Amino acid sequence: MNRFQVFPALNIGNAHIRPRRLRINKNIRSLVQENKLQKSDLIFPLFISEKGTKRYEIPSLSGIFRIPYDELLTEVEEIQKLGIKAIMLFPVIEGTKKDDYGTEAYNPEGLMQNCIRKIKETFPNMILFVDVALDPYTLHGHDGIIDEKGYVLNDETVEALCKQSLSYAACGVDFVCPSDMMDGRIAAIRTILDKDGYIGTSILAYSAKFASAFYGPFREAIASGARGLDKKTYQLNPANSREAIREAILDIQEGADMVMVKPGLPYLDILSKIKSQSEVPVVIYQVSGEYAMLKCAAQNNLIDEKAAVYESLISMKRAGADLIVTYYAKWLCENLL
């Protein structure tokens, strides 16, 4: 048989169907591309440290820094010039301000409160998402208030989260982002925000936040001392999907304006399932461990960083993400978008 002879199978039935026609060159591939990654899809996480501190590169997150409060506006200006429309703030506070109850979280003159006011005064169009949880503020590193046995108390924690959310709303935040995984906290926060007149303050709920091994660098970044801490009594079991969907549906019913899946790449199936049932936008968080692995592989010439980062993020869009929280946001705008 001539090696260029057409296979018999192509001579019958659907011989005219050749999907490769739509891949024949770059322009055609672009024309029929189903999903696109855009700057408007990105939320950049930003770690802010206290007044008088110095810019500090986080060892496990190459290229990511703790930004001193005094340099905050310079950093936000740079982010805005790159075309990024949204940032998510995380505090790095002094150890002397931490206690067992995380009371610094709702200090009217606290680090996050001052950051929100400062950014909104200078860059009113920058969309601010601010994490709501107690782990940056507690001595023990848990996301809530614990009892004498170390168990995180649900209702007592929710009360503190309501105070924290209210204090952020008073400063002009766009989205409060409860990441604690306490039961009923979305309804409680929505109720108190509305009661105090902050009807326009939105809630992004960390609805499907899993007890993941990929959070290590983040915990170093915020100096929570929680790297080896067991949070399985409130974060989701990585083996479960129905439970994650249930959590997202409950949060939507309780008033969440957006819901989140966290981490990213290992949970694309969860993202897809929640997206199919969600009435609100769905966000995914490409977490610190995912970023660190990609960076490490790229720095050791094991992968093409541009291609691998794009592939990982477009997979999130393909699975249904409306927005992506990623430490690669600035890098993407400088190198790809």
**Binding site residues, as ranges?**
247
For residue 261, what are the β-bridge partners?
Answer: 208, 284
The 10 Å CB-count burial string (b at 16+, else e) for 50-63 is beebeeeebebbbe
Do 39 and 83 touch, CB atoms closer than 8 A?
Answer: yes
Please report where in the chains the tokens 């109850």 appear, as a residue: 101
Active site residue 209: yes
Contacts of 219 (CB under 8 A, 6+ apart): 141, 225, 226, 227, 229
Residue of 98, 231, 262, 275 with catalytic role: 262
For the beta carbon of residue 159, count every other beta carbon within 10 angstroms.
Answer: 15
State yes or no: is 195 an active-site residue: no
Binding residues for Mg(2+): 247
Catalytic residue among 209, 273, 275, 317: 209
Kind of pairing, strands 258-262 and 282-286?
parallel
Determine the Cα–Cα distance for residues 193 and 215; give it in Å rounded to an integer.
30
Nearest-CA neighbor of 128 among 81, 92, 79, 95?
Answer: 79
* Catalytic residue annotation: 209, 262
